[in-house]
């Protein structure tokens, strides 16, 4: 897919996210909009996956540890053909396979249940050890949030990832600077996050988290004998001016007027 098409695709995914949240009047727009390019880099460029065979033995595993951003994941999974696009509009509703947080038992293409912060990255780390034990060559990618790194479990898993020399394990941080109660700095400063992961034994790379090429390059950078950390600098609510950098949009659905304004700004139609 050409770069121009992917840029258009990113807008479409953002519009889909907004329609999903608008339809069920619930969910997390800010952190979903901020990680779109991070997920696109994996699903459209780097990861070895097969939408027609979601459980393919040797697939790369992708674990959205910041599970509340699952509307972004679902929009991409539908676009890739894991399930019909019209399912997106059932998000968070009774008997939908699209739960409020990712559920591997219900949704094709979801590799782990996440949403209770810190757990996804730890599960992913376990998958990476298992791959080493099985001498399988797939990689495991975990996407975490910057509020999430306040969970001790993130650091327990980081310590283990370095201990077991997991060069098949990549942690991607959606560093948008905001969490429910406000900025990271205000709520609980996460300090120099690059230095922290470096100290835990990761190969660390910092990129513009909305620059698809830069993310892809970081994902493809070779690493040996240690896990990789990619700090993706992002904007919470990216693509919708009135949501950008506004923590109030962490977990709130748009009204009709707000939805229409957002879609107009993105400049794409949201069909069936």
Binding to another protein, residues 138-157 (CB under 8 A): 152-153, 156-157
Residue 125 lies near another protein (rule: CB under 8 A): yes
- Point out which span in 42-50, 158-166, 228-236, 257-265 binds another protein (CB under 8 A): 158-166
Stretch of 38-46, 107-115, 181-189, 247-255 contacting another protein, by CB under 8 A: 107-115
Minimal distance, residue 113 CB to another protein, in Å = 5
Q: Decide if residue 127 touches another protein (CB under 8 A).
A: yes
Quick one: 58 or 260, whose CB is closer to another protein? Answer: 58
Contact between 104 and another protein by CB under 8 A: the answer reads: yes
Closest CA to 227 of 135, 156, 159: 159
- In angstroms, give the least distance from the CB of 58 to another protein: 11
What is the C-alpha to C-alpha distance for residues 200 and 43, in angstroms, rounded to an integer?
28
State which residue, 136 or 261, has the beta carbon closest to another protein: 136
Least distance in angstroms from the C-beta of 116 to another protein = 4
Q: Which stretch binds another protein (CB under 8 A): 128-136, 175-183, 213-221, 256-264?
A: 128-136
Cβ atoms of 235 and 210 within 8 Å: the answer is yes
Concatenated DSSP letters for 184-243? HHHHH----HHHHHHHTT-EEEEEETT-HHHHHHHHHS---SS-EEEEEE--TTTT-TTT
CB 157 → another protein: shortest distance, Å? 5
Which of 157, 134, 174, 148 lies closest to 227, judged by CA?
Answer: 157
How many residues are present in the chain? Answer: 272
Minimum gap (Å) between residue 122 Cβ and another protein: 3
Query: Under a CB-based contact definition with an 8 Å cutoff, are residues 254 and 22 in contact?
Result: yes
- Residue among 82, 42, 30 at smallest CA distance from 218: 42
Helix (H, G, I), strand (E, B) or coil at 116: coil
Closest CA to 202 of 167, 176, 254: 167
Q: Is 166 in the site for another protein (CB under 8 A)?
A: no
Total residues binding another protein (CB under 8 A): 30
**Do 241 and 224 form a contact (C-beta atoms < 8 A)?**
no
Q: Which helix (H) or strand (E) holds 145?
A: strand 140-145
Q: How far is the CB of 107 from another protein (least distance, A)?
A: 12
Residues that bind another protein (CB under 8 A): 103-105, 111-113, 115-116, 118-119, 122-131, 133-134, 152-153, 156-157, 159-160, 163-164
């Amino acid at each position: 897919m050409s770069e121009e098409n992917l840029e258009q695709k990113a807008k479409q995914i953002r519009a889909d996210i907004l329609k999903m949240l608008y339809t069920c009047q619930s969910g997390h727009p800010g952190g979903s909009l901020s990680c779109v390019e991070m997920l696109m880099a994996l699903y459209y460029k780097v990861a070895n996956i097969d939408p027609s065979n979601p459980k393919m033995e040797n697939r790369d595993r992708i674990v959205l540890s910041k599970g509340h951003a699952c509307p972004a994941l679902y929009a991409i999974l539908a676009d890739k053909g894991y399930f019909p696009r019209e399912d997106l509009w059932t998000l968070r509703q009774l008997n939908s396979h699209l739960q409020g947080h990712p559920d591997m038992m219900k949704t094709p293409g979801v590799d782990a249940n996440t949403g209770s912060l810190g757990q996804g990255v730890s599960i992913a780390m376990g998958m990476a050890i298992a791959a080493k034990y099985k001498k399988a060559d797939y990689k495991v990618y975990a996407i975490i949030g910057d509020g999430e790194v306040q969970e001790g479990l993130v650091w327990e898993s980081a310590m283990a990832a370095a201990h077991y020399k997991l060069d098949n394990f990549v942690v991607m941080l959606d560093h948008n600077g905001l969490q429910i109660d406000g900025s990271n700095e205000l709520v609980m400063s996460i300090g120099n996050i690059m230095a922290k992961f470096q100290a835990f034994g990761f190969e660390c790379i910092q990129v513009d988290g909305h620059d698809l090429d830069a993310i892809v390059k970081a994902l493809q950078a070779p690493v040996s004998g240690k896990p990789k950390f990619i700090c993706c600098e992002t904007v919470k609510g990216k693509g919708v001016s009135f949501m950008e950098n506004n923590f109030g949009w962490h977990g709130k659905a748009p009204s009709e007027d707000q939805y229409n304004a957002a879609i107009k700004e993105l400049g794409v139609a949201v069909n069936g």
